[in-house]
């Protein structure tokens, strides 16, 4: 016990932690498993997807660059809303995630 009377989190206690059940999201029509607390970028990376945006001018593929929300390389469209930073947006059950082309406002 600590001074405040609370139990300390130890590595052993963390090993015994049980995550909440996985849920499903869709990426470009493909169903992916996600865990509570994962960002959209983490879900995509876990599924082996490294690119989910193309640049405006040349259409070059992009994914996570900084991973902390400082850049805008990981932009993705989530539930029809473009320009979402995948490294910051938490995945939610039933999310529809799509590759963002250009500025995200082009007709599909």
What band does 105 get if pLDDT is binned at 50, 70 and 90? confident
Q: Is the pLDDT of residue 17 over 90?
A: no
Within its chain, how far is the Cα of 45 from the centroid? 8
Among the ranges 50-54, 62-66, 88-92, which has the highest mean pLDDT value?
Answer: 88-92
**For position 35, what pLDDT does the model report?**
93
Predicted TM-score (pTM) of the model is 0.79
Per domain, the residue ranges of the chain are 21-101
Name residues whose C-beta falls within 8 Å of residue 55's C-beta, 6 or more positions apart in sequence.
Answer: 62, 102
Class of domain 21-101: alpha beta
């Amino acid at each position: 016990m600590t001074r405040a009377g609370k139990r300390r989190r130890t590595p052993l206690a963390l090993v015994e932690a049980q995550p909440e059940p996985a849920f499903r999201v869709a990426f470009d029509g493909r169903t992916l498993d996600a865990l509570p607390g994962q960002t959209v970028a983490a879900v995509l990376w876990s599924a082996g997807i490294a690119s989910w945006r193309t640049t405006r001018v040349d259409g070059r593929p992009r994914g996570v660059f900084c991973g902390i929300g400082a850049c805008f390389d990981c932009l993705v469209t989530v539930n029809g809303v473009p320009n979402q930073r995948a490294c910051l947006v938490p995945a939610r059950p039933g999310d529809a995630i799509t590759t963002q082309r250009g500025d995200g406002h082009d007709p599909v």
